[in-house]
Amino acid sequence: MEQISKRLFNWASVLEPSTRQQAEMTATMPFIFPHVALMPDAHLGRGATVGSVIPTLRAIIPAAVGVDIGCGMIAVRTQVTVDELDGLDRRALRLSIERAIPLSAGVYNTTLTETAKARIAHLEGKARFDYDQITGKWPFQLGTLGSGNHFIEVTVDEENRVWLFLHSGSRGIGNKIAMKHIKVAQRLMEKYWISLPDKDLAYLVQDTEEFWAYIRDLTWAQEFALLNREEMMDRVVSCFEEWYGSSVDEAERINCHHNFTQRERHFGKEVWLSRKGAIEATEGKPGLIPGSMGTASYVVTGKGNPVSLHSSPHGAGRMYSRSAARKTFSREQLREAMKGIEYRDTDAFLDEIPQAYKDVDQVMADARDLVEIRHTLHQIVNVKGD
């Protein structure tokens, strides 16, 4: 861990100068308390660094939560061992999952499962905004994956036990909610002649109507994201059961956000703690840290490090932008990285090649005082959207 300044602590051994500068800029905001914590997977983001933990007093920066509100991971440990899968066609499982769960940006459910209907009804009962004006399609987004670094995987741990693992968030409606409130905050900065080092550091002040409207919508979107993962995992379990030929006994299910805000107490004060690309790692709390496509993922337990504000990294963290990765790496390199893993072989995933990300093993080494590794997972099936 490195103390960059009085208000910025860094756990990343690999940190680009532009990322460092962005984090330093965020740490200068007057309502930061006590400091910003930069995680090992930190990389450049919109307004605030992805992989940062930002505690604020009586204010929130909407862009510091991120535009995919509530994005996170869910994993299920099954009773099945990998040896029991010998002779089964893993491609058939991948195709089954791809049929059961809509993939890619802008793709929706055409019909809704009974569990999805129940979850939608629950969300409708909690909504305090006109969600039809934001997007009338949102109920059909529940149970959909999206694209980019979102994934569904079948993985195996160090004891040869099979885990089902996926990563996704609040889909299109979460993005629209985030963008709406980022623009509200920016208009308020202009209205009150408040100068900012970056317009995406625009903030909302507690006890204003705009602040509580954001908290209300943010809380809803975070729950949507959590239920979205639950719905998809239920479908993945069903696909696995049909393919495996027997029911799954869930030994453990973990569901955690890594783009979210909640009230927490740190260094003697109540703060709004925004984790943008970071998971909560209070002492004993289970968490999930995925690597990149083709690399290991981790099931962890938090150590409750006070300087990190009880937080840890959320993944590997990008080293190459998507466009740079496409120009740098080849499909043959992707095939080599995915050797032994059942996946959809396409140029669409070039920007997700492991070499475009930090070395997840180094990230976990940097996080050794933040989390304890319980299980290391290696993929045998990978599903992604274009």
Query: Which active-site residues does the annotation give?
Result: 314
Q: Where are the beta strands (DSSP E) in 11-144?
A: 36-43, 50-56, 59-60, 72-81
Reference 385, options 97, 165, 5; nearest CA is: 97
Which residue carries 């499962």 as its tokens?
113
Q: How far apart are CA 262 and CA 260, in angstroms?
A: 7
- Token representation of residue 338: 């995915």
Which strands form 371-384's sheet, in the order they lie side by side?
Answer: 252-257, 72-81, 161-168, 151-156, 371-384, 297-302, 286-289
Query: In Å, how far are 48, 216, 331 from 222, measured between CA atoms?
Result: 19, 10, 36
Q: Is the dihedral of CA 159, 160, 162, 165 positive or negative?
A: positive
CA distances from residue 329 to 213, 242, 340 in whole angstroms, order as listed: 44, 37, 19
